[in-house]
Amino acid sequence: DTGVSQDPRHKITKRGQNVTFRCDPISEHNRLYWYRQTLGQGPEFLTYFQNEAQLEKSRLLSDRFSAERPKGSFSTLEIQRTEQGDSAMYLCASSSSRSSYNEQFFGPGTRLTVL
Amino acid sequence: GEDVEQSLFLSVREGDSSVINCTYTDSSSTYLYWYKQEPGAGLQLLTYIFSNMDMKQDQRLTVLLNKKDKHLSLRIADTQTGDSAIYFCAERPGGYQKVTFGTGTKLQVIP
């Protein structure tokens, strides 16, 4: 399978705990994105990497959220001191800078439930 | 700021055409996209249109762009039950990679 993969697919945690999600993009893609999607809404952009550099970051990304892409391949998204409002589907996508229209390929998502 | 709006629900009979509408606010949008999301599946790009185009046709899909009114539509000809899904309109301004999605339109196809 050469698509975008995310791990874990589901995460249940208690309020106040830290969680970390992983995304493995399509191997030849140098761009990677994180989005958050809540029920009945479209995905909301969180952040974007080109190679290992984090180039765009949404105001939605509070200080409790941090994302890394240390070697320009896989990425991690960490949420510290989780709150119930963090419950959502976290989507990762990747694309190639060679695509002029920036087709983003999405992974299946990690569903986070904060109790 | 960017805002993308869509109607929430559309019901059509199998074989009819479906038209899903979208309005956006960012006049600097360079690319506009239509994505499809099926239950339990990831988002899939259906088609896109560049802002200097008025229309794009791709098999059963026709995208119309009215840049003056900031209105985008997706027409699906000969709608099939397999087209039942949520359709998201999205826009991306020039020079940025951030894509802003609408709330999605749930298309229900009645056999």
Q: What is the least distance, in Å, from the CA of B12 to any CA of chain A?
A: 20
Q: Is the pLDDT of residue B25 over 90?
A: no
Query: What pLDDT is recorded for position A72?
Result: 87
Does A1 have pLDDT greater than 70? Answer: no
Confidence of residue B111 (pLDDT cuts 50, 70, 90): very high
| Residue reference for tokens 């009215």 | B66
Contact A101 B50 (CB under 8 A): yes
Q: Which two tokens stand for residue B35?
A: 């994505």
Task: List the beta bridge partners of residue B16.
Answer: none
- Look at the alpha carbons of B75, B79, B80, B84 in this order and tell me if their dihedral is positive or negative: positive
Residues belonging to chain A with any Cβ–Cβ distance to chain B shorter than 8 Å: 3-4, 31, 33, 40-45, 48, 50, 55-56, 58, 91, 93, 95, 101-109
B100 in contact with A, Cβ within 8 Å: yes
The distance of A17 to chain B (nearest Cα, Å) reads 27
Give the residue-averaged pLDDT of B23-28: 85
Report DSSP state, residue A98: T
- Integer Cα distance of B21 and B31 in angstroms: 16
Question: How many residues are there in chain B?
Answer: 111
Q: Are A63 and A77 in contact (CB under 8 A)?
A: no
User: Helix, strand or coil for residue A19?
Assistant: strand
Tens digit of pLDDT for each residue in A39-96?
989 999 999 999 999 999 998 788 999 999 998 899 999 999 999 999 999 999 999 9
The token pair that represents A57 in the structure block: 């970051």
With cut-offs at 50, 70 and 90, classify the pLDDT of residue A101. Answer: confident
What amino acid is encoded at A55 in this protein?
L
Q: What does the alpha-carbon distance between residue A74 and residue A95 come to, in Å, rounded to a whole number?
A: 13
Q: B19's torsion region: left (phi>0), alpha (psi -120 to 50) or beta? A: beta
On the question of pLDDT at B94 being above 70, the answer is yes
Q: For residue B88, which residues of chain A lie inside 8 Å, CB to CB? A: 42-43
Residues in chain B within 8 Å Cβ distance of A44: 101
Q: How far is A10 from chain B (nearest CA, A)?
A: 12
Q: What is the pLDDT of residue A60?
A: 79
